[in-house]
Structure 1
């Protein structure tokens, strides 16, 4: 207990999944938390749950595609808790029907994803940093994705936006490190959020499991604990980094699972 005692955190996209897990963990470890989400009722419910467990939290509306909405979320946090010391830029969108390959992609969807997935990180940081400087420092954590490190048959805009988040993280860390502001990112692989469970068939999950180094899938708390570490002073000498939390899915030669199956058959 108390790993982020005395800190004030704004968690965007905090009404469900990774954001919800992170907000609860931050509050459990002593932070005052503002949960901002397009789903305002979900954000408020999450905040009430935190308060019911002895924490301190607010739930507010956030449209991550709107600059003023992001600015207002920062100002709300500072007004109600006196400062902002942790910013978790967690909002992200994907669209499997419109974000296709480079030839067939919907260009309006490209612009929308760049605005929400990338520009929101820039804007949130832009408005939070002056308050962090005034408070003597802070920690910004951005949600990237393993899609930012690999190629795929679809989701060109999503992957490009997340790759840009990885590099923007380095720029923020470089430009404001002397102000005692750290900026890091976390890159999830497949995480079994409610949305993932609802949208992926058992057959698709089995495909992912085949290529994981570990014999299980990730859970929202796996990302939440990583963000908690980056928000805490335990990580005070870590900045500009992207921590890949992906169960070893991408670390091995891609032929390893198939080769293992081949060897088992050959030995039987």
Structure 2
């Protein structure tokens, strides 16, 4: 208990999945948490659950595509709890029907993902940093993705936005480090959020598992605990970094899984 005692955190996209895990863990370790989400009823339910478990949390509607809504969420956090020490820019979208290869991608979808996945990180940081300066410093954490490091047959916009989040994280850390503001990112691989489990058949999950170095796929708390670490003073000398939380999926020669299978056939 107490790893982030006394800190105030805004978690965007906190009503479910990675955001919800992070909000729960931050609250459990002593932070007062604001959960911002487009699904405001889900955000309220999450805040209520945290309160019922002895934590401190509030909820606010957040449309990450709208500048005014992001500004309002930051200001609500400061007005409610007096300061902001931690900002977790977690909102992100993908659309497998529209975000295709570069020839066939829906250009309106490209613009939408640039707004929601990338510009929201810029704006959340833009509005939080002045208040963090007043508080003597803070920690900004951004959700990137392994799609920012490894390309795919589709999701061109998603990958581009997440690569840009990695770069923007570095820029923020450079520009505001002297103000005791750290900025890091976390890059998840496949994380079995409720949405992922619902939308990914077991056969697809098994494909990911085949190429992991570890014998299991990730869970929301695997990211949540990384966020907690980056929010805490335990990581006070870490800034400008992107921590890859992906089970070793991307570390090996891509043929290694098939090669191991081939070798086992001869045993």
TM-score when normalising by structure 1: 0.99
Match of 2:196 in 1: 196
- Counterpart-to-counterpart distance in 2, 1:221 and 1:261: 31
- Counterpart-to-counterpart distance in 2, 1:80 and 1:257: 51
- Counterpart-to-counterpart distance in 2, 1:80 and 1:266: 65
**Equivalent residues in 2 for 1:137-216 (5 A)?**
137-216=137-216
- Counterpart-to-counterpart distance in 1, 2:150 and 2:218: 19
> Secondary structure of 1:117's match?
helix
Match of 1:112 in 2: 112
- Counterpart-to-counterpart distance in 1, 2:54 and 2:194: 25
**Equivalent residues in 2 for 1:34-183 (5 A)?**
34-183=34-183
- Counterpart-to-counterpart distance in 2, 1:192 and 1:150: 19
> Secondary structure of 2:157's match?
helix
- Counterpart-to-counterpart distance in 2, 1:26 and 1:45: 16
> Secondary structure of 2:73's match?
helix
> Secondary structure of 1:230's match?
helix
Q: CA deviation at 1:58?
A: 0.2
- Counterpart-to-counterpart distance in 2, 1:162 and 1:35: 22
Structure 1 residue runs of 5 or longer lacking an equivalent are none
Q: CA deviation at 1:7?
A: 0.2
1:87-124 deviations in Å (ceiling 9; x for gaps): 00000000000000000000000000000000000000
TM-score when normalising by structure 2: 1.00
Q: CA deviation at 1:266?
A: 1.8
- Counterpart-to-counterpart distance in 1, 2:245 and 2:55: 27
1:232-265 deviations in Å (ceiling 9; x for gaps): 0000000000000000000011111111011111
- Counterpart-to-counterpart distance in 2, 1:111 and 1:16: 24
> Secondary structure of 1:42's match?
helix
> How many equivalent pairs are there?
267
**Equivalent residues in 2 for 1:226-241 (5 A)?**
226-241=226-241
Structure 2 residue runs of 5 or longer lacking an equivalent are none
Q: Which runs of 4+ in 1 moved over 2 A?
A: none
- Counterpart-to-counterpart distance in 2, 1:169 and 1:191: 22
